[in-house]
Structure 1
Amino acid sequence: MSVLNQLQRGQDLEAMREQTHDILVIGGGVTGAGVALDAASRGLSTAIVEAQDWASGTSSRSSRLVHGGLRYLYQLDFKLVAEALHERALLLTTLAPHLVQAQPFLWPLKMPIIERTYSAIGVGMYDALAVAGAGGRKSVPIQKHLSRKQTKQAFPAIDDHSLVGAIRFFDARVDDARLVITLVRTAVRFGARAASRTQVVEMLQEGDRICGARVRDLETGQEFDVRARHVINATGVWTEKTQNLASSGGGLKVLASKGSHIVVPRDRIKADAGMFLRTEKSVLFIIPWQRYWVIGTTDTAWHEQLKHPVPTRADIDYILEHANSVLADPLTHDDIIGTYAGLRPLLQPEVLDETKSTKVSREHTVAEVAPGMTAIAGGKLTTYRVMAADAVDFALGDRADSLPSVTDRTPLLGADGYQATLRRAPHLMEQYGWDASRTEHLLDRYGSLITDLTALIDEQPELGEPLETAPDFLKAEVVMACRDEGALHLEDILYARIRLNSETRDRGESAVDEIGRIAAEILGWDDARLETEKRNYLTRIAAERAAELESTDAAASQARLEATDIVGDFD
C-alpha cells in the first residue's frame, strides 16, 4: 500500500501503539520524510509523525527550487555546491523526473567585460561541478552567453537599458509540498507507518536513554506511547523545542530566518526563462511556472511564533523593488495574486549577528541529543536525501555499514515508468479530451501514477470534469488529495495539494463550496462538519490578508493568529 488517507492513518496509529519500531521520525517536512524513506528502504521498521499536515512548515513555503546554490560558489563553498548539484542530477534523471523539471535562468549583466568574465567563470565552474556530479553526463544544458538583443528575445519583459547582456544557465524547480507527500507515500510503500496531525508531547526514557515518545492524536485528543529503538528529530525550526522534551540539554541550535515570496500571473511577465538577481542581502529569483511566477526571497531573522510565519508589507515592497529593477513594466501590489513565507532552519553558531543571517552555514549537522535520540538540522530542500542518509547512518552507528542507504537508486512513486507514460501522452489527450497544457499539468503532478487518476475517471466519468471554480484542476484531483495524498481537512487540500491559496487572487475562497462538497463525500463529513471546515478556511485566509498589510513581523504575526487552528494548539 502506498496511499495516505484516514483509513491508513488509523491503522498506522494503532500499529505505532502496539509495536516497537527501529526508528521513530519526528517531523513531516522534506527532511523527516526523507529520513523515513531512507530508514524504511533499508528494511528498518519505521514510524513518522507530524504535528501539522505533511509539508505544512518550511517544506511547502520554499522558493520551489532544486538547485546547487550558485551564490555559494562566491562564498567558496565548493563542497556544498557539488553535493547539491549531484542531488539535483539524481532528482532530474532517476528519483523524481516527474516532479523536478529543468529550468533556464538568466543572470543579467550590467558591465560588458569585467562582470561577464567573472560571472562566466562562476557559472562555468557551476556547470563543471554539475557534470561531475552527474557522472560525466549533462543533466541540464551548460551556460550560454547572450547579447542584449538575445536577452530581450529570451526575456521580453526585461528593461534592456539596465543591462548589456546575460548568461543563461539551468537549475530546476519542484512543487515542494508534492515532493514531500510523495516521499512519505514512498516510505509507506516500503513499510513505514505514517500519521500527520500527531504531536509529540513527551519523550519516553529508560534511564538516560530515549526509547520513544508520547504522542497526541490531534484529531481525537487521545494520547499514547510510541516505542522505538531510536528517535530522529527532524523538526526544522522546532528542533530546539523538540530537543527540550528530552531534558538532556544536548542537541543543535538553529536560527529561524524568514523567506517571503510573491506570486503573479504568468501573463504579467512576458518571458520564457527565469531570472537570477543578486541583492545587497541575498539573491532574488523570478521563477516561471505553468500558470504563474514565484518571486522571492527575503532573508531576515524571525522572532515570532513558528507555526504561521507571514510576509509583511515591507517584505512585499522589498521583493517588488528588486524585481522591478530589471522589468520594463514594473509590477505593483495589484498584480500580486498570492504571498507566502517560510522559515529556514539555519544552524546557529555560538555568537550570531542576526542582521547577517545569510552568512549562517546552510550545511546540515547531525548530533546526539541524548542516548537513543538524534537531531538533524540545516541543509536545504535539494540535499534532503543526503541529510536523511546521514541521520540514519548516525542513528545506526556501527550497523550502518551492513545496512547502507539505497535511496540514490530508489525512484519515488510516479517515477517508475515515467518515460513510457510520457510517450503515451498523445493517447491520453485523445482519450480524455485533454489539451497539451492540462496533460503537462497532470504528468508533472502524478508521473506514472496518472493511471490512478484515469482509473478513477473511468469509474466515475464526472470526475474527469474541470472544477467550475478552478478549471485548471479536475474534480478527480480533489478525490486523489483525500483518497491517496493524506488530506484530512479542507485547508490541507487548498494549501498543499490543489494550491489555490497561493496561486489565485482570492486564495481559493471561490472554490471552497465546490471542493468542500467533493471532500465531504470522500472524508465522510456531515453538513455541520463541512460548514466548520469552510468557516475555518475562510477565517484563515482573512487573517493572512490582514497580516500582509502590517509593516512589522510582530504585528503581522499577531494578525495571523486571529485565526485559530483546526486542531491542536502548539508552537
Structure 2
Amino acid sequence: MLGKVEHEEERVVTNPRSGSDPAQLGPAGREESWRRFGDETFDLVVIGGGVVGAGTALDAATRGLRVALVEARDLASGTSSRSSKLFHGGLRYLEQLEFGLVREALHERELMLTKIAPHLVKPVSFLYPLTHRIWERPYTAAGLLMYDTMGGARSVPGQKHLTRAGALRMVPALKRSALIGGIRYYDAQSDDARHTMTVARTAAHYGAVVRTSTQVVGFLREADRISGVRVRDVEDGRETEIHAGAVVNCTGVWTDELQRLSGGRGRFRVRASKGVHIVVPRDRIVSESGMILRTEKSVLFVIPWRNHWIVGTTDTDWNLDLAHPAATKHDIDYLLEHVNSVLATPLTHDDIEGVYAGLRPLLAGESEETSKLSREHAVARVAPGLVAIAGGKYTTYRVMAADAVDAAVVDLPGRPPSSITDKVPLLGADGYHALVNQADHLAAEHGLHPYRVRHLLDRYGSLVHEVLALAADRPELLKPIESAPDYLGVEVVYAASHEGALHLEDVLARRTRISIEYAHRGVDCAEQVAHLVAGVLGWSEEETKREVEVYRARVEAERDSQLQPTDESADALRAAAPEARAGLIEPVS
C-alpha cells in the first residue's frame, strides 16, 4: 500500500518506491513514470489533468490505491486555468433555490481557507450595489445571511450594509447614479492553475504516478469490461499500455469524445459554455473591493487580482475547438459595455492587458440557455471498469473527486477506505503561517524585499525553501524577469524542474500568469524565459528558438481572433496557429 494519512497533523510521506521526491514533476521523473506505466498494474487510471482529475488522483492515492494520472496537454491547460479564480458558494444559485449546491460549496471554501490550502486561497471582498429602494436591501440581506452561515463559513467577515456615500467611499470608481447603497460580503479566490498543479503534485507525493503530454488513444478490454488504456507520449510518439482495475474519465468538455473512444454510450451529455474574462490594470478602477453586478442574463464580477482587475464573465454556447476557445470582439465589447454602465471613468480596449476564454463542462438539460444549465455534477459507471464525471464547479472539485472514486472502487477487489481529503493539506500548507511571520528574516537571508517573499509564500507556501534553494549557487536567478518583474528567474526554473512544465507556454500561461498580466502577453520576455527553461529541459538552440516562435505565433493569433466578430472567424484564426505539443492527435471517433 502507498503512503496515506493517519491523522490530520501528520506530515506528508514520500512514496517508498522512489528514491527521490515523487512530487518533483521534473524531466528525470518522466522516463521512470513511463516505465512504471508499462510494468505495473494500477487500481485506477485517471484521465485528465484538470482540477477534478488531479483531485480524483489525490483522493484515490490517499485511500491507499495505486493511481496513474495522464493528461494529454498540461496540468490545468483547459478549464482549470481559465476560471473566474474564485472559491465561492455561488450567490446567484441561492436565487435558483440550489441551496444544497451553495452549502456544499461554502463548506469547501471554508476547508480551503483554513486547512487544505491557506497559502493558495485567500478571502476577497465584493460590493453588491443596490439599485432598487425598499425591497432590494432586505431581500439581498436575507440571501447573504444564509450565505454567511451555510456550510460552516466562519473564516471571512459577515455582510456589511452601506449607504450610497459609504459604498462610494469603498468604490470611488462607481457612478453616483449607479447605486442607492450597497452591501459588502466576502468570498475567496485562488490562482486556479497553480492550485490545480499543487493538487496534482500532492497526489504524486502520496504515490500517484502523474504524467502530462500523455494522450489516451485507446481503451483496453478484458471480456466485457474496460481494463486500462493505451497512451501515447505526445513529445516523442511512443505508445504503451496501462493496465488498471478501473478508469475514471475526468476530461470535462472532452467527456463525450473520450466516451466515444471507449466504444460506449455515455449516461449524460456535456455542453461547453464559453466564459470570457478581461484583465485591466488596478489603477483603471479605483476601488478597495471587488464588485458583483447584475446583468440581464447572469452576474458580472470585477475581481481584484494582484495589480490588476479581472472582469467577467460571459456565458454562451460553444461548439468549436475545445482546446483553444476564442474570445471575440463581441465578447469583449459585452464585458466593457456592462462594466462601463456603472463606472464613472469607462474602460476602453486600450486598457485591456489580457483576455482569456474557458469552457465550462455543463450537464446538458432541457434549457437551451447555458446560464441556466445545472452546475451540479454527475457521476456514472458507463461500463464495467469505466466511470465518467462531469459538470460541477471548480469550488467543489474535492467532493466531485470523492464521488468519482466511490463509483470506481465498485470494480476493485476489497473495500478501500472512504475519502479523507478533507484532512489532507496540499503541499506548501504545512508551516505556511509560521513562515509568513518569519518573512522579514527569510527576506534578509536571501537578499530579497519582504514583499517579494510574501508573494512567493502565497504561491508556494512552505515549498518556498525548495524554490529558493535553486538559487543557492546561481544568485542571478533571484533577479526579476525582464519585462515581467512580478516574477523571479528562479520561479521559471522551478516550474520546469519541479512543477511539470514542458513547454514555454506552460510557464508563461499557467505556472506564472504572465500571458494575461502584461500587455505584451509574454512576448517581450519569451526569449529570456525560454533560455532559463532550456537549461532544465535540455533544449537545443533550435528547440529553444521553436518554442519562442510557436508562443509568439499563438499570441499573435489570439490577438487577431479578439478582433473578429464571430466565434467561427475567431476560432479559424486560433486553429491556424501552431500547437506547442505538435504530437497531439485527434481522438478516434
Q: What letter matches 1:133 in structure 2?
A: G
Aligned-partner residue type, residue 45 of structure 1: R
**Residues 430-464 of structure 1 deviation map (CA, whole Å, 9 limit, x = unaligned):** 33343343233211101111111222223321111
Shift of 1:522: 1.1
1:468 offset after TM fit, Å? 2.0
Residue in 1 that maps onto 2:74: 53
Aligned to 2:8: none
Match of 1:133 among 152, 176, 182: 152
Greater shift after overlay, 297-306 or 391-400? 391-400
| 1:485 partnered with 2:499 | yes
**1:458, 1:215 → 2: CA distance?**
39
**Is there any run of 5+ residues in structure 1 with no aligned partner, and where?**
none
The equivalent residue for 2:529 is: 515
Q: 2:515 aligns with which of 497, 501, 511?
A: 501
Task: Give the drift of 1:352.
Answer: 4.0
Residue 198 of structure 1: CA displacement?
0.7
Instruction: Kindly provide the amino acid, as one letter, of the partner of residue 404 in structure 1.
Output: S
Residue in 2 that maps onto 1:266: 282
- Correspondent of 1:334 among 350, 362, 377: 350
Q: 1:459 to 1:113 in 2, by over 3 A?
A: farther
| Cα drift, residue 498 of structure 1 | 1.6
2:398 corresponds in structure 1 to 385
Aligned to 2:472: 458
Alpha carbons 1:243, 1:251 under 8 Å: kept:
no
Counterpart check, 1:303 vs 2:319: yes
Contact kept, 8 Å, 1:240 with 1:251, in 2: the verdict is no
Kindly indicate whether residue 120 of structure 2 is the aligned counterpart of residue 107 of structure 1: no
Aligned position for 2:7? none
Are residues 1:84 and 2:115 paired? no
For 1:472, what is the secondary structure of its paired residue?
A: strand
**1:428 and 2:442 aligned:** yes
Residue of structure 2 in register with 1:255 after alignment = 271
Q: In terms of mean alpha carbon deviation, does 5-14 or 217-226 score higher?
A: 5-14
2: distance between equivalents of 1:399 and 1:347? 31
Q: Are residues 1:555 and 2:555 paired?
A: no
**2:329, 2:259 → 1: CA distance?**
34
User: Residues 274 and 316 of structure 2 are in contact (CA less than 8 Å); yes or no, is this contact kept in structure 1?
Assistant: yes
Residue identity opposite 1:347 in structure 2: L
Of 295, 302, 314, the match for 1:279: 295
Q: Which amino acid aligns with 2:134?
A: I
Identity of aligned residues (%): 53
SS at match of 2:576: coil
C-alpha displacement at 1:239, in angstroms?
0.2
- Decide which moves more: 419-428 or 63-72: 419-428
CA distance in 1, matches of 2:261, 2:208: 24
**For 1:288 and 1:313, how far apart are their aligned partners in 2?**
23
> What secondary structure does 2:184 align onto?
strand
Q: Is the 8 A contact 1:469 1:514 kept in 2?
A: no
- Check whether the contact 1:393–1:400 (CA below 8 A) recurs between aligned residues: no
> Which residue is equivalent to 1:394?
407
Secondary structure of the structure 1 residue equivalent to 2:564: coil
Higher alpha-carbon deviation: 400-409 or 257-266:
400-409
- In the aligned structure 2, how far is the partner of 1:543 from the partner of 1:263? 18
SS of structure 1 residue aligned to 2:481: coil
Name which of structure 1's ranges 363-372 and 464-473 shifts more when overlaid on structure 2: 464-473
Q: Which residue of 1 aligns with 2:15?
A: none
Shift of 1:546: 0.9
For the pair 1:343 / 2:335, whether they are aligned, the reply is: no
The residue type paired with residue 47 of structure 1 is A
Most deviating of 57-66 and 463-472: 463-472
User: CA-to-partner distance for each residue in 1:17-55, whole Å, 9 max, x for gaps?
Assistant: 111100000000000000000001111000000011110
Within a 5 Å distance, the mapping from 1:514-553 to structure 2 comes to: 514-553=528-567
* Residue in structure 2 matched with residue 220 of structure 1 by the alignment: 236
- Describe the shift of the 1:102–1:111 C-alpha distance in structure 2 as closer, same or farther (beyond 3 A): same
Counterpart code for 2:275: G
Equivalent of 2:159, from 143, 146, 150?
143
Match of 1:32 in 2: 53
Tell me what 2:305 maps to.
289
Equivalent position amino acid for 1:154 in 2: M
Q: Distance in 2 between matches of 1:401 and 1:209?
A: 20
SS in 1 for 2:240: strand
For residues 482-539 of structure 1, what are the alpha-carbon distances to aligned partners after superposition, in whole Å with 9 as ceiling and x for unaligned?
Answer: 0111110111111101211111111110001111111111111111111111111111
The residue that corresponds to 2:377 in the other structure is: 364
Question: Corresponding residue for 2:6?
Answer: none
Deviates more, 1:114-123 or 1:4-13: 4-13
The superposition leaves residues 175-209 of structure 1 with CA deviations (integer Å, 9 ceiling, x where unpaired) of 00001100110000000001111110111111110
The one-letter code of the counterpart of 1:300 is: T
Q: Deviations over 1:354-403 (max 9, x none)?
A: xx111111010100121000000000110000000000011113979651
- Equivalent residue in structure 2 for 1:413, among 427, 436, 449: 427
Residue 12 of structure 1 contacts residue 193 of structure 1 at CA under 8 Å; is this kept in 2?
Answer: yes
- 1:276 aligns to what SS in structure 2? strand
Query: What is the deviation of 1:281?
Result: 1.2
Q: CA RMSD in A?
A: 1.3
Quote the residue 1:119 is aligned against.
Answer: 140
Aligned to 2:88: 67
Alpha-carbon distance in structure 2 between the residues aligned to 1:521 and 1:429: 26
Aligned length, in residue pairs: 563
Task: Work out the CA distance in 1 between the residues paired with 2:565 and 2:315.
Answer: 16
Look up the SS of the partner of 1:496 in the other structure.
Answer: helix
Amino acid of the structure 1 residue aligned with 2:43: D
Tell me if structure 1 keeps the 8 A contact 2:228–2:244. Answer: yes
Greater shift, 428-437 or 378-387, is seen at 428-437
Displacement of 1:233: 0.2
Q: What stretches of structure 2 of length at least 5 have no aligned partner?
A: 1-20
Matched letter for residue 510 of structure 1? D
Q: Which moved more, 1:558-567 or 1:397-406?
A: 397-406
1:244 alignment partner in structure 2: 260
1:230 aligns with 2:246: yes
Give the letter aligned to residue 388 of structure 1. A
Deviations 1:115-146 (A, max 9, x none): 111011111111121xx424xxx111000001
Q: Deviation string for 1:259-285 (max 9, x for gaps)?
A: 000000111111121000121111111
SS in 1 for 2:319: coil
- TM-superposition CA deviations, 1:138-177 (whole Å, max 9, x none): 1110000011111112112111221111100000111000
- SS of alignment partner, residue 281 of structure 1: coil
C-alpha contact (below 8 Å) 1:254/1:346 kept by paired residues: yes
Contact conserved, 2:41 with 2:244, CA < 8 A, in 1?
A: yes
Contact in 1 for aligned 2:256/2:266 (Cα 8 Å): no
How many angstroms apart in 1 are the aligned matches of 2:217 and 2:185?
Answer: 46
8 Å contact from structure 1 (residues 210, 373) kept in 2: yes
Task: Answer yes or no: is the 8 Å Cα contact 1:246–1:370 preserved in 2.
Answer: no
